[in-house]
Amino acid sequence: MRGGNDKIWADVDWVLVGMYFLVVVLGVSNVYSSVYNPEKPGLFNLETEHGKQIMWIGIALFIGVIIMIVDGSLIRKLSFWAYGVLVLLLVLVLFTEPINGAKSWFGIGSFGIQPSEVAKVGVCLALSAHLAENPPPKTPLTPRISISYLMALVTQNWKTVTILAIPSLLVLLQPDAGTFIIFTSFILVLYREGYAGNVLLFLLVAVIIAVITLIVADSSFMLPLLKIKMGGKFGIVLALLFIGLAFYLLIRNFVLKRNRGGLYRALVGSIIVSILFVNFVEWGYGTFLDDHQKERIELLLGKMEDPDGKGYNVNRAKAAIGSGGFAGKGYQKATLANASQKHVPMQSTDFIFCTWSEERGFLGSAFLVIFYCVLLIKIVSVAERQRSRYTRIFAYCVAGIFFYHVMINVGMGIGLAPVIGIPLPLFSYGGSSVLTFSLLLFILIKLDSERKIVLQ
Amino acid sequence: MRNIDNRKYVIALIFIMIPLIFVVRLFYMQVVDDKWKERAAQISENKVITYPARGIVYDRNGQKLISNEVYYDIRVIPKQMDEDVDSVSLAKLLDISLEEYTKKMNKARDYSYRKSSEVVRQIPPDEFADIGPEMYKYPGFFEVERTLRIYPKPIAAHVLGYMSEVDSSDIKRDAYYKSGDMIGKSGIEKSYEQVLRGEKGVKYYLQDAIGIETDRYEDGAYDTIAQQGKSVTLTIDADLQEYGEELMRNKRGSIVVLEPSSGEVLTMISSPTYDPNLLVGRRLGQNYGELAQDTLLPLLNRSANSTYPPGSTFKTLMALIAMQEGVITEEASFPCTKSLVGCHNHPTARGVSDGVKMSCNPYFYYVTRKIIQQGKNKSHFADAAIGLDIWAEYLHSFGLGEDMKTDFPAMRYGFIPNTDFYDNEFPSKSNPYGKFGWAYSTIYSNSIGQGEVLVSPLEMANIACVMANRGHFYYPHFVKEIEDGDVPSVYTTKRKTKVEPKYFDPVVDGMWRVVHEPGGTARRARVDSLDICGKTGTAENFKMYNGKRHQLIDHSIFIAFAPKDDPKIAVSVYIENSGFGGTWAAPIASLLIEQYLTGEIKDTIKENRILEADLMPIRYQKKK
Ligand SMILES: [Zn+2]
């Protein structure tokens, strides 16, 4: 089935390759600006973050060339092995000395590697391998609100759940909430592969209800007409009941009598679930989240303002981005997110978008966001042209991870997402993340280059 | 399966929608909303104001009246302080109590950790000489130079005025001022504030997260350099001012000296006065309080803010108006009818010159009656009303009761009563004489400068100018030159009175005889060869005690100019509660004239008599 070595590069998607090089070059130039130290001027100086970044890109390219040379089927065969090794690393890392309160790093001299980053590659490979062999049943279970339905869901999908659950729990033990949240991006993959059709819709409604609940939770209001003071939570419950009443009236007047029964049941069920959910959110918020996580959420929701204290990071990030203006302050001319003023914390890693946006302004920041958008659509189109289920699933895994990283990293800088310390793909400084995202893209490019010969 | 393949569109939609929301949000944050740009400037930029030195004030001969001296403010940036700073020795070094130090530091921390706050202000250079070398021990503390006023000669306090911190109304009125800035509060400092203050400079620094300045913002492209205020040259003659203040020691009153040919104020004295250096910097508060409580009212500028009855000096004007109106001639003679109004013993005044020389009260009673009661109306009362308004109009043309636009803040001008005043406001607004309720016989006191008429010392000096110029004058003013500016034309415009020059001769002749002839009222003012012309006056005055009107000792008044031909100087002198004008006011005026015209005093007996005289009323003597 395979051609000779000359054919390895024949079907490579050079657009994707070009996008990779564009983003890493911009990334290095931006890291250079954000950490520039006049005493260490060399671009390739390994004592600097940009120097290290170039080194990591070099390592990634080296591995990338190996990936391109080996047979794609080897990657598919090694999927679970890679998963196993990386899970082992996630276990081993828990026995290291904590750095900044988390056991996330294997240190080698002044270089470190985060297994939780690289583990993403293993999870993608294993999930792709598993789902490729186990397509969802042709006749999916009818969703019902019952224990038996839930049990059936679990028993049918326990392998998938296990593949995702093991690394998720291990990163939570570090603790590394950021990576845990990234793992939820696989919901997009499952959705694409035919699982849980309404999951996305449910999640959207759940997020909206949760946000409203948190916003009004500890406020109170006066009930109109009747002068009764009510807690915010009861307001939501009341609103849900009114929505239920409105739907009831809609169903009664516009739906055929024979169809009404099921809709009534669904309506009553969803209202009850919603009300329970509201209480759960309030209870869960108070029970599971620690104080600084609550603070981050309250800052995001605007319930708390503390621009020089707890809200320092986001306040400085927003000021840096907002002050960039339309065309930016110019390369190496940032006054907040730069190396000497250091107003923005972690400006070469988690808040790298600030330096970029301050120096390049709206033109630059919009360009970068649109660039990632185009990259995501490009990966989707690559995914959809595959005859191999494995490659398609893997492509969606890559897209989902990239999407989550961009959404959260950019979102927290502009106040649309809570502060979760995760890097901007191929842009932030960080060996592990550069390596991870490079591997994901290279494997995708390799698998895609075999799209004409791998039919299943 | 087709159904499930459609899910790629949902995913693609999510992948497009979220970045789109981000782009919109970025557009709002970066392009539309200025909030974050302001916040960024607040965080990263440090605006340092540099204060300009204020303009220098010179006298007419180039002597410095007001100059500048460098003082030091100590400021602190709390974030840069050592945690274990030795507060006790620092407070001691700065010469403040530990409580005050703690209070200031708490206030500074409350204000900002990263921005500087003031700890001690206006440390004089001699004290700073001890503090400066120790400053390195206290990181976060630093000094800022500021210039304050210094007065090389301790004179002309009332003319020059003083400076103090701006108040909220100043800040509201003019965006130039920020809390803590200094502003001219009175005198020349106030009237030429805009000229003298200069332009503040601004330096923009970039500061890092702990508030340390790292770079100049945009390499200083937006920085401005503080521009020193423009200098102002005053018409004041510092030597004459100093001599006048010496003469006025232990006397209460005022002196105004003008140059008749220009209206320039050569000297303006209000006594008692104070050393202007007392009201500078940190001394201001306490010293001001002490001066304000002094019963002798040293802060009151009697020359600019007091009005008095003009007394007999006013008679010269009555003669001029009557001649111009044609109701008397130069030769007019009136008997000294003491039953009408009191007088001293003297030969009958035969003509205007005699009347002025002898200062005969009944003579001017008759003269003024001829002005007021001209018989233009059959009704005696209506006739008086017409006459009084004619009379008032003449007096206004002499600048009396008029705003003469003098470049001095809160200048008070005199008052010339008219028909409306007696109809509606006098003796009281609730119970006035009323229309046709009064005639000359009611208001005749004004003819001899008593009654309701009031003048300011400046106006009196201006009357002396009018006499010297035989009928014209210039609005009195203090400005001679402004650096890079012009003296307003209002001061160079010649103002003519309604009396023709020819009528001045007999009056001026009488004023010469007042000083030079036996029987004149101011023979103490005579200086050989200077041809001083003058007119004495005494002004009755009253003070209310416990609701009763008490007559006090008369104010002694003298106006004069010299020489008679080609006059160079015009003077008005008021010595409060000192009696007859010829006794004290006249010799003081003559000493000033002699000093100004000849540069020396020949009659040292006269000079010593004045220098040694203590005319402070016992009642007002400061408690020791
Ligand atoms: Zn007489």
The string of DSSP codes covering B64-131 is EEEEEEEEEEEEE-GGGS-TT--HHHHHHHTT--HHHHHHHHHHHHHH-SSS-EEEEEEE-HHHHHHH
Distance CA A271, CA B521 (A): 112
Angle, helices A199-216 vs A232-254, to 10°: value is 140
From the list A157, A120, A164, A129, the residue with the least C-alpha distance to A141 is: A157
For residues B142 and A280, give the distance between their C-alpha atoms in angstroms, rounded to a whole number: 57
Residues of A in contact with B18 (CB under 8 A): 403, 407
Q: Range with the lowest mean pLDDT among A60-69, A226-235, A270-279, B424-433?
A: A226-235
- How far apart are the CA of A230 and the nearest CA of chain B, in angstroms? 34
- Quote the CA–CA distance of B292 and B616 in Å, as a whole number: 18
Which one-letter DSSP state was computed for residue B407?
A: S
Q: Rounded distance, CA A428 to CA A434, Å?
A: 8
- Distance of alpha carbon A320 from alpha carbon B39, whole angstroms: 9
pLDDT of residue A184: 86
Q: Using only the alpha carbons of chain A, give its radius of gyration.
A: 25
Give B350's strand partners.
B333
Q: What Cα–Cα distance (Å) separates residue B28 from each residue in A121, A324, A334, A419, A427?
A: 36, 12, 20, 20, 24
- Degrees to nearest 5, angle at CA B594 with B588 and B595: 90
User: Does residue B552 belong to the interface with chain A, where contact is any CB pair within 8 Å?
Assistant: no
Question: Is residue A317 within 8 Å of residue A412, measured between CB atoms?
Answer: yes
Contacts of A117 (CB under 8 A, 6+ apart): A179, A430, A432, A433, A435, A436
Strand-strand pairing, B163-165 and B201-207: unpaired
Higher local confidence (pLDDT), A141 or B226: B226
Helices and strands, number each (H, E), in chain B: 23, 18
Q: Is A410 on the interface with B (CB under 8 A)?
A: yes
Q: Which of A2-6, A159-163, B176-180, B610-614 has the highest mean pLDDT?
A: B610-614
Cβ–Cβ under 8 Å, residues B526 and B511: no
pLDDT of residue B24: 93
pLDDT at A47: 79
Q: In the numeric block, which tokens belong to residue B178? A: 């920020």
For B39, which of A191, A319, A380 is closest by C-beta distance? A319
Q: What tokens does A420 get?
A: 């979760």
Residue A406 in contact with partner chain B when CB distance is under 8 A: yes
Asked if B10 is an interface residue toward chain A (Cβ–Cβ < 8 A), one would say yes
CB contact under 8 A, A325 and B19: no
According to the model, what pLDDT value does residue B624 have? 37
Is B567:B579 a contact under the CB 8 Å cutoff?
no
Strand partners of residue B494? none
Crossing angle of helices B238-247/B585-598, nearest 10°? 150
Of B506, B470, B217, B246, the C-alpha closest to B354 is B506
Which secondary-structure segment (H or E) carries A73? Answer: helix A72-92
B419: its two tokens = 């028909």
Residue of higher predicted confidence among A47 and B402 = B402
Distance of CA B503 to the CA centre of its chain: 35
Q: What percent of chain A is modeled with pLDDT above 90?
A: 30
- The reported pLDDT for the residue numbered A33 is 86
Nearest-by-Cβ selection for A341 from B12, B15, B44: B44
CB interface of B with A, residues 185-224, below 8 Å: 206-209, 214-215, 217
Pair B482, B510: CB distance under 8 Å: no
User: What residue ranges do the domains of chain B occupy?
Assistant: 45-63+167-233, 69-152, 238-274+302-612
Does B24 lie at the interface with A, CB-CB under 8 angstroms? no
Give the A window 20-79 contacts with B, CB below 8 Å: none
C-beta separation of A130 from A165 below 8 A = no
Same CATH topology for B45-63+167-233 and B69-152: the answer is: yes
Provide, rounded to the nearest whole percent, the portion of chain A with pLDDT above 70: 88
- CATH for B69-152 is 3.90.1310.10
The answer to whether the CB of B42 falls within 8 A of the CB of A427 is: no
| Minimal CA separation from A360 to chain B, in Å | 11
Check pLDDT > 50 for residue A1: no
Residues of chain B in contact with residue A366, where contact means CB-CB under 8 angstroms, are: 23, 26-27
Joined together, the tokens standing for residue A102 give 């988390």
Angstrom distance (rounded) from CA A397 to CA A440: 9
Q: Residue B326 Cα, ligand 1 centroid: separation in angstroms?
A: 23
Longest dimension (CA), chain A: 83
Smallest Cβ–Cβ distance between A380 and the set B15, B19, B217 belongs to B15
Tokens read off for B310: 């003009």
Inter-chain contact A322–B25, Cβ cutoff 8 Å? no
Q: Give contacts of B212 with chain A, Cβ < 8 Å.
A: none
Residue B488's Cβ-count burial label (10 Å; 0-12, 13-18, 19+) is middle
| CB pair distance less than 8 Å for B4 and A194 | yes
The CATH code for residues B238-274+302-612 is: 3.40.710.10
Q: State yes or no: pLDDT of A330 exceeds 60.
A: yes
Alpha-carbon distance of A345 to A350, in angstroms, equals 8
Which of A184, A326, A335, A404 has the most B C-beta neighbours within 10 Å, making it the best mutation to test the interface with B?
Answer: A335
B301 in contact with chain A, both atoms CB, cutoff 8 A: no
Rounded distance from Cα B582 to ligand 1 centre (Å): 17
Q: Which residues pair with B199 in a beta bridge?
A: B227
The overall average pLDDT reported for chain A is 83
pLDDT at A296: 76
Give the DSSP H or E segment for B534: strand B533-545
Query: What is the distance in angstroms between the Cα of B26 and the nearest Cα belonging to chain A?
Result: 7
Q: CA-to-CA distance for B149 and B56, rounded, in angstroms?
A: 9
Q: Which of B160, B148, B157 is nearest to B275 (CA)?
A: B157
Task: Determine the 3-state secondary structure of A296 from DSSP.
Answer: helix
> Which residues in B lie closer than 8 A to residue A342 (C-beta atoms)?
208-209
Chains A and B form CB pairs within 8 A to the count of 123
Strands B495-496, B201-207: parallel, antiparallel or unpaired by DSSP? unpaired
CA of A374: which chain B residue's CA is closest?
B16
Task: Say what the pLDDT of residue A317 is.
Answer: 87
Q: Average pLDDT by consecutive 10-residue portion of chain B (624 residues)? A: 75 92 93 86 79 93 94 89 87 91 90 83 88 89 89 95 92 88 93 93 78 70 86 96 95 95 96 93 88 89 90 95 95 92 90 94 95 92 94 96 92 93 89 90 92 93 96 96 92 95 96 92 88 90 73 87 95 88 89 95 93 74 41
pLDDT band at A22 (very low <50, low <70, confident <90, very high): very high
Please give the pLDDT value at position A399: 96
Pick the CATH number of B45-63+167-233 from 3.40.50.720, 3.40.50.300, 3.40.50.10800, 3.90.1310.10: 3.90.1310.10
- Which residues 159-198 of A have a C-beta within 8 angstroms of B? 188, 191-194, 197
ipTM: 0.88
